[in-house]
Structure 1
Amino acid sequence: INAEDFENNFIPSPGKIKELNMPGGYRVRVDTHIYPGYTISPYYDSMVAKVIAYGNDRMEAIATMKRALEEFYISPIKTTIGLHEKILSRAAFVEGNVSTHFIENVMKEE
């Protein structure tokens, strides 16, 4: 998850985190360094978290990741959470039918 506005050409979204809800639970892992009150700098890597979800099969892992992304909330920082949700909702992704142009095509659908 990056502190970027994916709907605005992925511009950085630095600033102070006021509200934060991390996902968790069964089959979800989050690696991060952020916390409420943390200030995201415009001068360094915009990655704020890695979210890992797994399941017994692809469908279960996707369902787990969807739940985790729904739980993840950062305010007022803009993040790529919404982009990941869009990706997971595409039939082509669910079916594993993707190419190197997949993200570009998802972005064009707007």
Structure 2
Amino acid sequence: MTKITFIEHDGTEHTVEAVNGLTVMETAIRNMVPGIDADCGGACACATCHVYVDPAWEDKTGERSSMEQSMLDFASDVEASSRLSCQIKVSDALDGLVVRLPEQQG
């Protein structure tokens, strides 16, 4: 199984097992990781699943789509590594992925 580590803004870590084919957002929700609101349910219609992808993983998570980029305009504290976790599909290639959560969503 693919493992993903979510790091809350205060440094608290949650390492969870993810199912391939789901998204990083769905993985967070299924494992009750605090800090991922996912108000739109993964439709890329809000910015409440905003994460910062660890630089070591940016190539493996792919690039932002234009729609994702537009939604990130509504996110707080956007950085170069910002992504919407609903747009990152889990696969074996992401085993060990580390993402940080912003202090607030939206």
Answer whether TM exceeds 0.5 for this pair.
no
Of structures 1 and 2, the one with the larger relative CO (CA 8 A, separation 6+) is: 2
Bigger Rg, which one: 1
Q: What's the TM-score once normalised by structure 1's chain length?
A: 0.28
Q: What's the TM-score once normalised by structure 2's chain length?
A: 0.29
